[in-house]
């Protein structure tokens, strides 16, 4: 399968097993971030989804209370402008409103996070280079050297086979390396931010990422995906 000249954003990678379907890996990592608002006294996800199905606008208010900080964190790691981030967060609520009731997500937090990230990447394509978050630019360039054949890496992965190969590769890594990889290439966190969260040195994080990119490239090539 040829991947040359295509692009990869790791957008919505689903982790799958040959015997059973797993939850998205980025959902697992999401539970580790302090960007999620403390759940005390906040509405249960199922009840919020029920509000969306009832077309009750209180659903948006409850979503903002519970996951507003999460959406802002995701958008802020991609977009340098506060105004762009705020617009992205508001668009996320609108996107969730339009997506439900056609869908009833099993993992509402992951569902919202994916919409916020996709919208942030779309916004990223239109803002000037001067307004882009340097950390996001660096993350995309690093990953582009690994999987995109030199093309832009912002575009969404459409091929399910590619998603499956990358997901399987990540599940084969230990938890620490997996979390570092996804924080860098899914959340676009800076190296400094990853070090602060994990306690690793910058040289260790950079070494881990370099080695995982090399191994991922080898894995893709073994699967017949030209990079």
Q: What is the pLDDT of residue 198?
A: 92
Phi-psi region of 42 (alpha: psi -120 to 50; beta: other; left: phi over 0): beta
Tokens of 107: 């993992």
What is the mean pLDDT of each successive set of 10 residues along the chain, which is 227 residues long?
A: 40 37 40 44 92 94 93 88 91 94 86 90 70 64 60 49 83 92 86 92 95 92 77
Q: What is the pLDDT of residue 106?
A: 87
Contacts of 177 (CB under 8 A, 6+ apart): 208, 212
The alpha carbon dihedral of 222, 182, 173, 22 has a sign of negative
In Å, what is the CA distance from 126 to each residue of 29, 79, 84?
Answer: 28, 11, 11
């Amino acid at each position: 399968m040829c991947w040359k000249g295509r692009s990869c954003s790791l957008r919505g990678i689903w982790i799958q097993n040959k015997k059973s379907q797993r939850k998205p890996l980025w959902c697992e990592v999401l539970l580790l971030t302090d960007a999620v608002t403390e759940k005390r006294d906040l509405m249960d996800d199922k009840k919020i989804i029920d509000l969306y199905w009832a077309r009750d606008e209180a659903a948006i208010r409850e979503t903002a209370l519970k996951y507003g900080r999460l959406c802002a964190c995701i958008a802020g790691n991609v977009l340098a402008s506060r105004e762009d981030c705020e617009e992205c967060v508001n668009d996320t609520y609108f996107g969730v409103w339009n997506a439900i009731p056609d869908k009833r997500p099993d993992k509402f937090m992951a569902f919202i996070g994916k919409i916020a990230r996709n919208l942030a990447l779309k916004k990223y394509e239109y803002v000037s280079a001067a307004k882009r978050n340097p950390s996001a630019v660096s993350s995309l360039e690093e990953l582009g050297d690994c999987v995109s054949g030199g093309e832009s890496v912002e575009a969404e992965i459409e091929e399910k086979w590619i998603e499956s190969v990358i997901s399987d590769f990540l599940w084969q890594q230990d938890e620490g390396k997996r979390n570092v990889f996804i924080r860098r290439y899914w959340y676009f966190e800076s190296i400094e931010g990853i070090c602060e969260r994990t306690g690793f040195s910058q040289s260790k994080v950079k070494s881990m990422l370099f080695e995982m990119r090399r191994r991922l490239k080898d894995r893709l090539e073994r699967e017949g995906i030209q990079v």
